[in-house]
């Protein structure tokens, strides 16, 4: 509670135009980053839970989820872009001390993003049956992959509300509540998965025999468990935002829920480039899946597990990027250009340091990480190779992640999105297509490592030039 009050006090210095020492800036950055990092890590732990539990069912079950994972990321990214288009507006309003206008934006965003999520639900449900075949999956894994993707799509409205509420709270400076609720979602995911993935079984605990009930639904149970956890947390997150947030609670008259043209135009200007980027980026990831698919079931499973395992390393970068978006958004809303630049440099440096250390840990712990996710020796070996290849790129990957968060806070999303797309398509996919036939899965991950280093370099160059700050 005391730490929360100190953080609010430091944020008030931004909004009121008062000077901030370097020590205060560093303290505020850490105070906002720490819970955001925990929120990101908790979301990845939930993916670990799903992957490790399904991994106990065998390589085919793991491959069925890995086959459609890039497609779920596509829809996930579109929901994120829709929420960001409105939450950045809220950060600017709060920075300008216009809390009533911020609540008006929030009201309109609820209806707009929900309608968008139902559109995605309809599209995803329609293609769920054919999607595994389009991606080149074998006949054995297609049914499970199709059911997993369908259930994911049916949970999109809850996921959208989760992203929206969490983004709004973070942009208001409240990092703790989204972090705590996301951690709780991990716990719920464990419980639901235990009940839904595996059949009823007998276990011995401290010498006492217990019967654990289970539905034995396998891959379908993993999808249902995650969806149920997301629904519970979405309701809780929206309740807090609606009734308890000091800046954004919707009690009283704050305007209509009907989206207005001006608010929608700003949301589209911010969110559309991000959405288009996610479409083309995930298209590139899907193409990567197509490149990996002919390498066999072990390669598909190892690639999926390695991506999930690596995410534990880079998710702290996304947490710091969330803090960067809040700090830059509120600083710009308050009209403080120099403070904006300082926060940009501080957050990017912090992100590179943290992810550099995480990369070193990942290199050493790769066998343990893969061993926790799958008992299949062949999949473990390929996954360890992939993680150790990728570890060298983590600092530069951090530079691109956090710098992107800085640009989003400034409402500058078009050029960074183009930069991401160019890097992925011109560098990663070209190299992967060249290297995969001769090097197998290792060639795909070598290409990824080189591309991430290139991407970090161009983002650092743009950050240093400073032209992004002229957007507002």
Q: What is the mean pLDDT of residues 86-94?
A: 87
Interhelix angle 261-292/59-95, rounded to 10 degrees, is 160
pLDDT at 472: 47
pLDDT band at 253 (very low <50, low <70, confident <90, very high): low
Q: How far apart are CA 247 and CA 172, in angstroms?
A: 7
Share above pLDDT 70 across residues of the chain, in percent, rounded to a whole number: 93
Q: What is the rounded average pLDDT of the residues 50-78?
A: 78
In this structure, are residues 11 and 27 in contact, taking their beta carbons and an 8 Å threshold? no
Give the CA count within 13 Å in the CB-facing half-sphere of 382: 28
- Lowest-confidence segment of 27-41, 70-84, 292-306, 409-423 by average pLDDT: 27-41
> Is the confidence at residue 50, as pLDDT, over 70?
no
Q: What is the pLDDT of residue 254?
A: 66
pLDDT digits (tens, 9 = 90+) for 427-436: 998 998 899 8
Instruction: Tell me the pLDDT tens digit for each residue of 256-285.
Output: 788 889 999 988 888 888 788 777 777 777
Residue 471 has pLDDT above 60, yes or no: no
Query: Does residue 90 surpass a pLDDT of 50?
Result: yes
Which residues have CB under 8 Å from 90's CB, separation 6+? 102, 105, 106, 168, 171, 172, 248
pLDDT of residue 63: 78
Residue 338: the pLDDT is 87
- CA pair distance 101, 223, nearest whole angstrom: 38
Query: Considering only 39-43, 92-96, 406-410, which range has the smallest mean pLDDT?
Result: 39-43
- Residue 96 has a pLDDT of 82
For position 44, what pLDDT does the model report?
Answer: 65
What is the sign of the dihedral through the CA atoms of 387, 393, 395 and 399? negative
> pLDDT at position 470, please?
66
Would residue 255 be called left, alpha or beta, if left means φ above 0 and alpha means ψ between -120 and 50 degrees?
left
> Is residue 437 over pLDDT 90?
no
Q: How far apart are CA 55 and CA 186, in angstroms?
A: 18
Interior angle at CA 350, CA 344 and CA 355, nearest 5: 125
Q: What is the pLDDT of residue 8?
A: 56
18, 181, 343 from 2: Cα distances, Å: 21, 20, 23
- SS3 letters across the chain: CHHHHHHHHHHHHHHHCCCCCHHHHHHHHHHHHHHHHHHHHHHHHHHHHHHHHHHCCCHHHHHHHHHHHHHHHHHHHHHHHHHHHHHHHHHHHHHCCCHHHHHHHHHHHHHHHHHHHHHHHHHHHHHCCCHHHHCCCCCCCHHHHHHHHHHHHHCHHHHHHHHHHHHHHHHCCCCHHHHHHHHHHHHHHHHHHHHHCCEEEEEEECCEEEEEEEECCCHHHHHHHHHHHHHHHHHHHHHHHHHCCCCCCCCCCCCCCCCCHHHHHHHHHHHHHHHHHHHHHHHHHHHHHHHHHHHCHHHHHHHHHHHHHHHHHHHHHHHHHHHHHHHHHHHHHCCCHHHHHHHHHHHHHHHHHHHHHHHHHHHHHHHHHHHHHCCCHHHHHHHHHHHHHHHHHHHHHHHHHHHHHHHHHCCCCHHHHHHHHHHHHHHHHHHHHHHHHHHCHHHHHHHHHHHHHHHHHHHHHHHHHCHHHHCC
pTM of model > 0.85: no
Instruction: Give the pLDDT of residue 43.
Output: 65
Percentage of the chain modeled with pLDDT above 90: 31
The number of residues making up the chain comes to: 472
| Per-residue pLDDT tens over the stretch 123-152 | 999 999 999 988 877 888 899 999 999 999
Rounded mean pLDDT of the chain? 85
Q: What is the pLDDT of residues 199-241, one digit of tens each?
A: 887 777 667 777 878 888 888 998 999 899 999 999 999 999 8
Residue 2: pLDDT over 50: no
In the chain, domain spans: 2-203+212-470
Query: Of 446 and 174, which is predicted with more confidence?
Result: 446
Q: For position 110, what pLDDT does the model report?
A: 94
């Amino acid at each position: 509670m005391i730490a929360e009050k100190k953080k609010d006090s430091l944020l008030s210095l931004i909004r009121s135009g008062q000077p901030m020492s370097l020590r205060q800036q560093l303290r505020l950055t850490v105070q906002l980053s720490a819970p955001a990092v925990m929120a990101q890590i908790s979301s990845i732990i939930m993916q670990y839970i799903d992957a490790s539990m399904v991994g106990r069912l065998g390589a085919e079950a793991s491959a069925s989820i890995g086959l459609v994972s890039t497609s779920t990321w596509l829809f996930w990214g579109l929901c994120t872009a829709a929420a960001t288009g409105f939450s950045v507006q809220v950060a600017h309003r709060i920075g300008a001390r216009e809390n009533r206008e911020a609540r008006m934006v929030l009201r309109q965003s609820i209806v707009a993003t929900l309608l968008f999520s139902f559109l995605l639900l309809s599209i995803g449900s329609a293609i769920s049956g054919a999607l595994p075949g389009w991606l080149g999956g074998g006949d054995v894994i297609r049914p499970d992959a199709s059911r997993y993707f369908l259930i994911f799509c049916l949970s999109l409205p809850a996921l959208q509300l989760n992203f929206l509420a969490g983004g709004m709270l973070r942009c208001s400076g409240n990092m703790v509540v989204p972090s705590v609720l996301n951690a709780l979602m991990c716990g719920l995911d464990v419980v639901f998965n235990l009940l839904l993935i595996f059949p009823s079984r007998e276990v011995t605990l401290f010498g006492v025999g217990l019967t654990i009930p289970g539905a034995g639904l396998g891959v379908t149970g993993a999808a249902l468990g995650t969806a149920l956890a997301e629904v519970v947390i979405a309701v809780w997150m929206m309740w807090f935002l609606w009734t308890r947030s000091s800046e954004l609670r919707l009690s009283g008259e704050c305007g209509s829920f009907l989206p207005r043209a001006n608010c929608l135009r700003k949301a589209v200007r911010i969110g559309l480039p991000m959405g288009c980027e996610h479409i083309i980026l995930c298209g590139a990831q899907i193409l990567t899946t197509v490149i990996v698919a002919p390498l066999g079931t072990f390669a598909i499973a190892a690639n999926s597990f390695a991506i999930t395992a690596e995410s534990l390393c880079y998710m702290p970068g996304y947490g710091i990027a969330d803090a960067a978006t809040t700090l830059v958004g509120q600083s710009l809303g308050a009209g403080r250009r120099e403070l904006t630049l300082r926060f940009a440099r501080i957050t990017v440096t912090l992100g590179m340091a943290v992810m550099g250390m995480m990369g070193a840990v990942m290199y050493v712990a790769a066998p343990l990480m893969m061993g926790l996710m799958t008992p299949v020796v062949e999949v473990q070996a390929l996954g360890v190779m992939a993680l150790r290849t990728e570890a060298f790129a983590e600092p530069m990957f951090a530079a691109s992640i956090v710098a992107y968060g800085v640009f989003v806070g400034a409402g500058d999303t078009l050029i960074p999105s183009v930069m991401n797309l160019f890097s992925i398509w011109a560098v990663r996919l070209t190299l992967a297509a060249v290297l995969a036939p001769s090097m197998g899965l290792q060639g795909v991950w070598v290409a990824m490592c080189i591309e991430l280093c290139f991407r970090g370099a161009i983002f650092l160059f743009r950050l240093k030039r400073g032209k992004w700050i002229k957007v507002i």
